[in-house]
Homo-oligomer: A and B are copies of this chain.
């Protein structure tokens, strides 16, 4: 049994970690922190988890890390780096914030504004896209969880850039995401009255997850790659669908994806010509990918669906933690999606 701490446990990704660990056979939650809600029982903050026997929410400084094996850090961006800097050396860390995703300090500054407080750590952090950095993750002390939109776009496109079968300059990622990705903070724009029965694009051509696309796509292509990326907000809680327009032969694209993912436990490539739906991965760690040929030859649409709170953040985090702790990678993560 491994001993786990979750920092920043009062948000949705924190609750999703707790939900998944609830039936994980080898993880025990030893502490849950939430500064402003310290002292509250977790079941009061998240009544859907009231049946669990969990530690009371506390402040970070109250936690004894002596016997802790791994910390999930679900704190806000910028706060996360400051807290992680002070964690004892023996503790492994999976960070769900954006703080350690970008390898280049200038890129970090450009997209997140402000100097990084933990530059040395940033250099050692491994980007948590499991299907690409599995060996590094196994050996890492600090793994940076990917952006949820980033994961949805990277998984279907990276194999195509590696294979050199699409034009790197002609990638358009049109994406729609559920509202839980915006977190539990009270914002007018995320009210039920404002979100339901409506659809719109946001952060157009300026979303921070562009930084992750640039970093990973350029690495895969061996030269700078800039994509077009338009996220939209869906009137639903969970799920991201990316519809990606590429130049290349659809069947070759499908073949490359099958080749890459046929042995992966959580990434499913649908039969050629089929497209996925977010509802079919809801609450699970699965990612479904599909390829459809455009009516114009040499063009194709690649689709990718995952649950932003699971494969897009907390499920991915546990998948990486399993690797870091020497546990089977899929442990605790094979819950089937919830439908309807």
Contact indicator B191/A50 (Cβ below 8 Å): no
Contact indicator B292/A47 (Cβ below 8 Å): no
Indicate if A106 sits at the interface (CB-CB under 8 A): no
A and B contact pairs by CB, cutoff 8 A, 10 listed: A48-B279, A179-B191, A179-B193, A180-B340, A196-B235, A196-B236, A199-B236, A199-B241, A204-B292, A204-B301
Contact indicator B190/A294 (Cβ below 8 Å): no
* B-chain residues with CB within 8 Å of residue A268 when the two chains form the complex: 50-51
* B-chain residues with CB within 8 Å of residue A296 when the two chains form the complex: 226, 228
Please tell me which stretch of A1-9, A88-96, A331-339 contacts chain B, meaning at least 4 of its Cβ atoms lie within 8 angstroms of it.
Answer: A331-339
Q: Please measure, in the bound complex, the distance between the C-alpha atom of A78 and the C-alpha atom of B286, giving whole angstroms.
A: 38
Contact indicator A196/B192 (Cβ below 8 Å): yes
Q: B199, B239, B284, B293: which contacts A277 (Cβ < 8 A)?
A: B199
Given A190-B192, A230-B301, A245-B228; A47-B280 close (CB under 8 Å): yes
Within 8 A of B (CB), among A274-301: 275-284, 286, 288, 292-296, 299, 301
Closest B residue to A170 by beta carbon equals B170
Contact indicator A283/B338 (Cβ below 8 Å): yes
Indicate if A223 sits at the interface (CB-CB under 8 A): no
Minimum CB–CB distance for A338 against chain B, Å: 5
Minimum CB–CB distance for A241 against chain B, Å: 5
Indicate if A143 sits at the interface (CB-CB under 8 A): no
* B-chain residues with CB within 8 Å of residue A48 when the two chains form the complex: 279-282, 284, 336-339
Contact indicator A277/B47 (Cβ below 8 Å): yes
Given A198-B277, A201-B303, A232-B176; A12-B193 close (CB under 8 Å): yes
* B-chain residues with CB within 8 Å of residue A238 when the two chains form the complex: 197, 340
Closest B residue to A188 by beta carbon equals B186
Q: B174, B190, B206, B278: which contacts A174 (Cβ < 8 A)?
A: B174
Contact indicator A241/B200 (Cβ below 8 Å): yes
Q: Please measure, in the bound complex, the distance between the C-alpha atom of A65 and the C-alpha atom of B304, giving whole angstroms.
A: 40
Indicate if A86 sits at the interface (CB-CB under 8 A): no
Q: B19, B174, B301: which contacts A338 (Cβ < 8 A)?
A: B19
Contact indicator A190/B187 (Cβ below 8 Å): no
Given A205-B295, A294-B228; A200-B301 close (CB under 8 Å): no
Contact indicator A338/B338 (Cβ below 8 Å): yes
Minimum CB–CB distance for A204 against chain B, Å: 5
Minimum CB–CB distance for A270 against chain B, Å: 8
Given A236-B199, A241-B200; A336-B23 close (CB under 8 Å): yes
* B-chain residues with CB within 8 Å of residue A179 when the two chains form the complex: 191-193
Closest B residue to A274 by beta carbon equals B47
Closest 3 CB pairs of A and B: A198-B279, A200-B277, A193-B340
Contact indicator A174/B337 (Cβ below 8 Å): no
Given A236-B198, A336-B19; A184-B190 close (CB under 8 Å): no
Indicate if A46 sits at the interface (CB-CB under 8 A): yes
Closest B residue to A265 by beta carbon equals B51
Closest B residue to A19 by beta carbon equals B336
Q: Please measure, in the bound complex, the distance between the C-alpha atom of A185 and the C-alpha atom of B232, giving whole angstroms.
A: 23
Minimum CB–CB distance for A292 against chain B, Å: 5
Given A23-B334, A204-B301; A243-B232 close (CB under 8 Å): yes
